[in-house]
Amino acid sequence: MKKTIKALQIPAIVLLLVTSFIACDKDFYVLDSDVLGKDNANFGTGVDSLMPIISYNKKLEKVQINNLPSNVLGFYDDPEYGPTTASVITQILPSSFDPDFGENPIIDSVVLSIPYFNRTIAIDDEGFAEYTISDSLYGNPVDDIKLSIYENGYFLRDFNPDNLGEPQNYFSYANSGDVSNNYALTDNSTINFDNFKGALIKDTIFTPSSDNIITVVRTDTDTTVTRLVPSFRVKLDTLFWETAIIKKQGQSELSNANNFKNYFRGLYFKAEAIDGKGHMILLNFASSDATITIHYSRDDEANDGERLQATYSFNFNGNRLNTFINEHTRVVDNGDKTLGDEKLFLKGGQGSMAVVSLFDGMVEYTDENNNTTIISALEAFKRTYRAVDDKGEFITESTTGDFVLKQLLNEAHLLIYEDETSTTTMEDYHKYDRIYAYDIENNFQTIDYTIDPTENFSSALNSKVISLSQRDTINKNFKIRLTEHLNNILLRDSTNTKIGLVLSTNVNVTGNSEILKSEDDVTGIPTATILAPKGTILHGSNENVPDGQRMILKLFFTDPK
């Protein structure tokens, strides 16, 4: 089906943004026009019926949980989806090998410190920064969690033994049905990390805080005060580290990285809710300030009877992964790829996402000669915008090979509405939601994201706001810009017609994680959504969704004369 509107002429003294709406029958969506014109303009605007889009749910199973840029730890009860518990298994690596602890070393303390992700909110009277960790804290911070830190007995491999040219990836098994133990999957095995628990190193009640960490070191002649960023900071059992590390001086276990990783296989941070409540926090294990430090003293060989202070530290630069336990009250299944879904369920972690098929099915197309045929939606889109020769073949530029366009696509975006029944009473909960769109075929960000100049590393909420709009708090919707993505289809015959939508709390994180043995088009998901505990519900494209709430694709174009 095709409808046209004659060119609009706008007086030169008026600067207008013109938006034209056309109602099409139920198999189609709105296509808008938005141009700037004047009396002697050599272009006009036109509106054609838009090819149908289909959006549907995709249940996420067995998502990659290693090689994440950060990690979540704790318990979060999402009001729409239900509880998730996140734990961390990580290797540690010494700051140096073949250490000499000196004569008669005695441990004074062992301190574990892992920074929270934070944001500066003020500078106090003494010139020190004050921080908030609210951007990376989920749930009520007064609801503590139980945290048990064990020695990990499972060896986290660097390479896949079935294919030594590939790194070893680990995948989630959040829906195992066992809510007490933490699992992960590899290509051909299931790992229960609770079966590999070693010694209990720390058992504590964990309460996050935005306060600075202040340390004081006193000597006979001086006092040093240090202010650190907000961190998870606890003292660990000294006897364990004396046996595991200090007494291994001169032995092969501390001689190199491979020997150490095989000997000391890391730590298992196991989180548990307390009375069904808790919080979840994003921890920066990759920070240079994320350390385990052994503070010890040794004999001063130059001064008999004197002691010297020293340290030996570890970082978290080895293999590290998150595990998840889902106890979801809302079960999301794979959606209807033919008719689309009425509601789209976006949930982070091992949750769910949405797929948008931009040009789906067959449509009725009427050309300039009033000939009507039934062709694919993608072909109709191309014929609407591309120029053809006398034989009806698409014309290409002789220099670039790009297709010549008869209508210039200036702007294209998905307009996506929240399900108002799940959001109207939860404004604060959805306040900072961002929807991240990616190219499913290439497991990569869209072109529009790549060229978006509004990147903001200090505030993810205010980053990439052209390609991935912020949530419209009044109309409760999102705009996902796809202008260059569609132009790439028109100009260069790109075949990337499926867009993935996930919930993200940090749109600056652009990496992708694999899905184990995927059997459909979705073979990977953006890493950012694995670290986003929250969920949201959106209106889909199914024809039963009322107008004004249904997902639509809007196109704004110029029609040269």
What residue type is assigned to position 17 of the chain? L
pLDDT at 278 > cutoff 90: yes
Q: Percent of the chain having pLDDT more than 90? A: 73
pLDDT at 437: 98
pLDDT at 42: 46
180 backbone φψ class: left, alpha, beta (φ>0; ψ -120 to 50) = alpha
469-519 pLDDT, tens per residue? 999 988 999 999 999 999 999 999 999 999 999 999 899 999 999 999 999
Helix, strand, coil proportions of the chain in percent (round to 5)?
A: 10, 40, 50
- 257-264 long-range contacts, CB within 8 A, separation 24+: 257/93, 257/97, 260/93, 260/94, 260/97, 261/91, 261/93, 261/155, 261/156, 261/318, 262/155, 264/92, 264/151
Q: How many angstroms separate the CA atoms of 68 and 434, rounded?
A: 19
Residue found by looking up tokens 């706008």 in the block: 10
Let me know: does 93 contact 285? Beta carbons within 8 Å: no
**Which DSSP state fits 430?**
H
Q: How many angstroms separate the CA atoms of 76 and 272, rounded?
A: 10
16-65 pLDDT, tens per residue? 333 333 333 333 333 433 333 333 344 445 444 355 799 999 999 999 99
Tell me the torsion sign for CA atoms 201, 204, 210, 215: negative
Q: How confident is the model at residue 74 (pLDDT cuts 50, 70, 90)?
A: very high
pLDDT at 14 > cutoff 50: no
pLDDT at 305: 81
Question: What is the number of alpha carbons within 13 Å of residue 520 lying toward its C-beta?
Answer: 14
Q: Residue 356 burial by CB count (10 A; 0-12/13-18/19+): exposed, middle or buried?
A: buried
pLDDT at 426: 57
Domain boundaries, the chain: 53-61+331-372+415-546, 82-103+113-291+316-326
Q: How many angstroms separate the CA atoms of 252 and 248, rounded?
A: 8
Other CB atoms within a 10 A radius of the CB of residue 413 amount to 22
Q: How confident is the model at residue 367 (pLDDT cuts 50, 70, 90)?
A: confident
The pTM of the whole model exceeds 0.85: yes
Q: How many angstroms separate the CA atoms of 417 and 550, rounded?
A: 7
280-337 pLDDT, tens per residue? 999 999 999 999 999 999 999 888 888 999 999 999 999 999 999 999 999 999 999 9
pLDDT top residue among 366 and 111: 111
Tell me the torsion sign for CA atoms 313, 319, 320, 323: negative
Mean pLDDT of 132-150: 92
pLDDT top residue among 227 and 170: 170
Closest alpha carbon to 559 in 335, 392, 302, 387: 387
Look at strands 159-160 and 190-192 and give their pairing.
unpaired
Residues 6 or more apart whose CB falls under 8 angstroms from that of 361 comprise 52, 54, 376, 377
